[in-house]
């Protein structure tokens, strides 16, 4: 009987943790801050290592947003947004290899975006940094208003 009670308690705790971490109510900045510093790993989409599109998938999966795997394919989703209309949760795309979209990040507001840098891992950068400003291609809004509200809500 003790084993059953312990198992039920562990499942309840796991369910509560999973809901607090992966359900609505966790704001975007917090979700990003949880993985800042995670190393870069080509093809990675877990906390052991991310590439840019894998990082985006990891964050957006927390809000039940389904996206394609590559930054190029992600850049074709949703609605195009001009740079001056960016809002947190929009995806920003860059041409880092001279052959079209090859890098992506999540706009956080205040000219900042989160991304998995191949040299520094998951980090927050400014769109106005010379490197990114010169390579900026487009931005896409891929989330609904409801998802936006979930991303912006703060947990108490």
Q: Where are the domains of the chain?
A: 26-152
- Mean residue pLDDT of the chain comes to 86
- pTM for this model (two decimals): 0.82
Burial of 109 (0-12, 13-18, 19+ CB in 10 A): middle
Task: Report pLDDT digits (tens) over 82-99.
Answer: 999 999 999 999 999 999
Confidence at residue 150, expressed as pLDDT on a 0 to 100 scale:
87
CATH topology of domain 26-152: endopeptidase fold (from Nostoc punctiforme) (3.90.1720)
Residues catalogued as catalytic: 52, 103, 115
Angle (nearest 5°) at CA 151 between 100 and 147: 80
Higher-scoring residue by pLDDT: 25, 142: 142
The H or E element spanning position 14 is helix 2-22
- Adjacent-strand bridge partners of 91: 106, 140
Percentage of the chain beyond pLDDT 70 is: 81
Per the CB < 8 A criterion, the answer to whether 105 and 115 are in contact is: yes
Strand bridging mode 121-126 / 112-117:
antiparallel
SS3 70: coil
The pLDDT score that the predictor gives to residue 16 is: 33
């Amino acid at each position: 009987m003790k084993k059953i009670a312990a198992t039920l308690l562990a499942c309840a705790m796991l369910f509560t943790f999973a809901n607090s971490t992966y359900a609505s109510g966790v704001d975007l900045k917090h979700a990003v801050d949880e993985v800042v510093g995670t190393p870069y790993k080509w093809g990675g989409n877990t906390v052991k290592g991310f590439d840019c599109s894998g990082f985006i998938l990891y964050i957006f999966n927390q809000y039940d947003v389904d996206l394609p795997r590559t930054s190029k394919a992600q850049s074709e989703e949703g609605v195009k947004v001009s740079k001056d209309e960016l809002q947190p949760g929009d995806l920003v795309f860059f041409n880092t290899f001279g052959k079209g979209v090859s890098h992506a990040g999540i706009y956080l507001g205040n000219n900042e975006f989160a991304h998995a840098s191949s040299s520094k891992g998951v980090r927050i950068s400014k769109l106005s940094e010379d490197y990114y400003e010169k390579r900026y291609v487009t931005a896409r809004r891929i989330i609904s208003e409801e998802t936006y509200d979930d991303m912006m809500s703060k947990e108490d």
